Amino acid sequence: MPRTGPRWLIFAAVAALPALVILVPLGSFLAMSLAHAEKHQIIYDWTLRNYASFLGNWTYLSTFLGTLWLCLEVVLLSLIVGYPIAWYIWRQKSWKRYALLQIAALPLFMSYIVKLYTLRSMLGLNGLVNQALVSLGILEQPSQVFLYNQRAVLITMTVIYLPYVVLPIFLSLERIPRSLLHASTDLGAGGWDTFRRVVLPLSVPGTIAGALFAFVLALGDFITPQMVGGTTGFTIGRVIFSQFGLAFDWPFGAAMAAILLLVALLLIVTAGYAASRRRV
Amino acid sequence: MTKKIRLDRRDFLIGSAAAGAMIAAPTIVRAASKELRVLAWEGYAEPEWVEAFKKETGAEVKIVYVGSADEMFAKMQGSQGADFDVVSFDTSIFSRYLDANLLAPLDLSKIANAGNIAPEFREVKEVMRADKQFGVPFAWGSLPMVYDADAFSTPPDSWDVMWNPEYGQQLICMDDANNCITWGALVVGVDNPYNLSDDDFARVKEKLIEQKKLLLSYFAGFDEGVNMFAQNSIKVMYSMGEPQVPALKNKGINAALTIPKEGAPGWLDCWTMSAGATDPDLAHQWINTCLAASVGEILTNKAGYGNTTNTDVNKAAGFTYGDKLSWLQQAENYEKRVAVWNEVKAG
């Protein structure tokens, strides 16, 4: 039997680094959210007034709710696009499957900013999307509707976060034992019935994980709205960002970030609970 | 078999002292020769005059560039000025540095080239405190209107053009709380655009929300504004500065700038001496070098900023509108400006 002493030590050694680089900064910004700024000095007086002023400010609160709504739209759209992609990859045989999987994961190797610039030039007035639509005769002339609005933010975020949705869904599909599919066929279920009653329910945990990734990433993204959102791309991330420059209201920014973190955590816990109940 | 290395306390101390001396050696050697530590914006310490300065004084020059005024202040405050000898920043934040005691007064008798400074930059009250002068003006510029000259037969004479629905979705504006509130205040005609009352804020906010409906987008950086202008057939923008015009011309846009009748914000950067300057004479020599007329010429023709010493070069480059600018000042309340700007963007 292993002694408990050394095991504890090993655990402490392994946990020290994550604690240092994750928990300490988190703790410091939670502490910051309870301070207040005065004349470029931060005074730690353990007050909740930053939280109160956020909840009492309709501009920020409605921006926050609008951002949550936008993130839900991103999740929905990326599931609608991502699930069929994952399913299609999963249906392929041998090398083809992994080649497609590689391609689906390829955007993860590219810088986020590069992807943003690429998408922006594609969606722009003289971009690929407009050129294609005009040459196909769908549009008579290039349109500005694809860029500098909320729709652009939605499209861009969905494209950028798609790999984070496809991969977990694929993984949960791959974990489904082939025998279950054979059994379903043997029992006379058609392709659609097998999908609806076997594949779909068993892939729920991966789907929830993918949806969570998309939601949390979209929630914290303050660059995409700025780059492609035009005058309507104002999200809570921009509000938080604005507290750290000229305003020098770090405590208020930290409080809003803490609320964002809380919402994300709450969602992760709820979704994790839902996913674990689904597990067979 | 491994040999255990044992270190006793004395060995350790001797070893550390030796290591410490080795690490410190370059500093000790360097301290013997002269060194000037510069904290500035890019373009303010170019090889053309840095090399001449080095040759003349025999000093080394160590330059640190920063990307924002906040970063610059943080670097100075972090060391109480001890990390730098000379610093350049604009007149609107002088009081912040002076209040934090980060600057040392200048002795103009040690700066022969101060005589080169053009008359309009000689009496700048922001650089004075208690009859002592803490800065000398070095470079200036504006936040002008930049427009597509192909779309206008004569330059627009008023910012009203950016409220004209005819140019809807063909306008862009920088995303900067302080500069945009100042701009709005100039347009609605507030007496002092740096000291707004609650009533003024409400008027500015309403005006800017009205303008937002016609904007294609805000832009966050210098190049971002240029690219957005060029890619979307933009007609007019509230620009981040003069150098955006040549950048647009490089992209084939017939861009031009103008200062409308309401005025436009202007900035005036000055050289100052840090309170922690190790060699005040050397710092004065640096400022003297920067005020040479030849440096002003390079500053204007290479970096695209207005200079304070060479009027002919300014005229040739089009920097003739210093009197039309509203020089940026310390604003009444920056937190409030950011909050109002957020309300404009959310509105």
The chain-wide mean pLDDT, for chain B, equals 89
Q: Is A231 on the interface with B (CB under 8 A)?
A: yes
Q: Considering the domain boundaries, does residue A225 fall inside one? A: yes
The percentage of chain B sitting over the pLDDT mark of 70, rounded to a whole number, equals 91
Q: Is the pLDDT of residue B10 over 80?
A: no
Q: Considering the domain boundaries, does residue A6 fall inside one? A: no
Whole-angstrom distance, CA of residue B241 vs CA of residue B284: 29
Whole-angstrom distance, CA of residue B123 vs CA of residue A190: 88
Residue B264 phi, psi (nearest 5): -150, 155
Catalogue the E-assigned strands of chain A.
36-38, 41-43
Q: Considering the domain boundaries, does residue A160 fall inside one? A: yes
Q: Domain B34-139+266-320 - what CATH class?
A: alpha beta
Cα angle: A8, vertex A12, A15; to 5 degrees: 135
**CB crowding B317-346: b at 16 or more within 10 Å, else e:** bebebbebbbbbbebeebebbbbbbbbbbb
Contact across the interface for A59 and B343, Cβ inside 8 Å: yes
Whole-angstrom distance, CA of residue B321 vs CA of residue A131: 43
Whole-angstrom distance, CA of residue A230 vs CA of residue B234: 14
**B290 compared with B24, residue with greater pLDDT:** B290
Quick count: other Cβ atoms within 10 Å of Cβ A228? 27
Contact across the interface for B177 and A247, Cβ inside 8 Å: yes
Q: Which two tokens stand for residue A233?
A: 């791309």
The pLDDT value recorded for residue B1 is: 37
Judge whether B272 and B97 are in contact, CB under 8 Å. Answer: yes
Q: Considering the domain boundaries, does residue A246 fall inside one? A: yes
Give me the half-sphere count of Cα atoms (radius 13 Å) on the Cβ side of residue A268: 11
Q: Return all residues near A265 (Cβ < 8 A) that are at least 6 apart.
A: none
pLDDT of A21-80, one tens digit each? Answer: 999 999 998 999 999 988 777 889 999 999 999 999 999 999 999 999 999 999 999 999
Nearest to A230 among B217, B334, B346 (CB): B217
The pLDDT value recorded for residue B342 is: 94
Judge whether A263 and A269 are in contact, CB under 8 Å. Answer: no
Nearest to A124 among B178, B232, B337 (CB): B232
Residue A255 phi, psi (nearest 5): -65, -45
Nearest to B70 among A124, A227, A245 (CB): A245
Judge whether B330 and B93 are in contact, CB under 8 Å. Answer: yes
Whole-angstrom distance, CA of residue B341 vs CA of residue B335: 10
Residue B147 phi, psi (nearest 5): -135, 165
Cα angle: B169, vertex B174, B178; to 5 degrees: 135
Q: Considering the domain boundaries, does residue A37 fall inside one? A: no
Contact across the interface for B231 and A124, Cβ inside 8 Å: yes
Q: Is A41 on the interface with B (CB under 8 A)?
A: no
The domain in which residue A122 lies consists of 62-278
Confidence band, pLDDT 50/70/90 cuts, at residue B68: confident
The pLDDT value recorded for residue B17 is: 53
Contact across the interface for A246 and B338, Cβ inside 8 Å: yes
- Say what the ipTM of the complex is: 0.85
Q: Is A249 on the interface with B (CB under 8 A)?
A: yes
pLDDT of B270-285, one tens digit each? Answer: 999 999 999 999 999 9
Q: Considering the domain boundaries, does residue A205 fall inside one? A: yes
**Would you say domain B145-258 falls under CATH 1.10.3720.10?**
no
Whole-angstrom distance, CA of residue A152 vs CA of residue B18: 62
Q: Considering the domain boundaries, does residue A56 fall inside one? A: no
pLDDT of B302-340, one tens digit each? Answer: 888 999 999 999 999 999 998 899 999 989 998 899 999
DSSP for B212-270, please give it: HTTEEEEE-SHHHHHHHHHHTT--EEE-S-TTHHHHHHHTT--EEEE--TT-EEEEEEE
Overall size of chain A counted in residues: 280
CATH of the domain at A138: 1.10.3720.10
Whole-angstrom distance, CA of residue A179 vs CA of residue A198: 11
Residue B336 phi, psi (nearest 5): -65, -40
Name the helix (H) or strand (E) containing A225.
Answer: helix A224-228
Judge whether A239 and B342 are in contact, CB under 8 Å. Answer: yes
Domain with CATH 3.40.190.10 in chain B: 34-139+266-320, 145-258
**Single-letter code of the amino acid located at A149:** N
pLDDT of A10-26, one tens digit each? Answer: 888 888 888 899 999 99
Q: Is A28 helix (H, G, I), strand (E, B) or coil?
A: helix
Domains in chain A, number: 1
Name the helix (H) or strand (E) containing A100.
Answer: helix A94-105
Q: Is B68 on the interface with A (CB under 8 A)?
A: yes
pLDDT of B126-158, one tens digit each? Answer: 899 989 999 999 999 999 999 999 999 999 999
Q: Considering the domain boundaries, does residue A130 fall inside one? A: yes
Whole-angstrom distance, CA of residue B230 vs CA of residue B254: 10
**Would strands B128-129 and B325-327 be described as parallel, antiparallel, or unpaired?**
unpaired
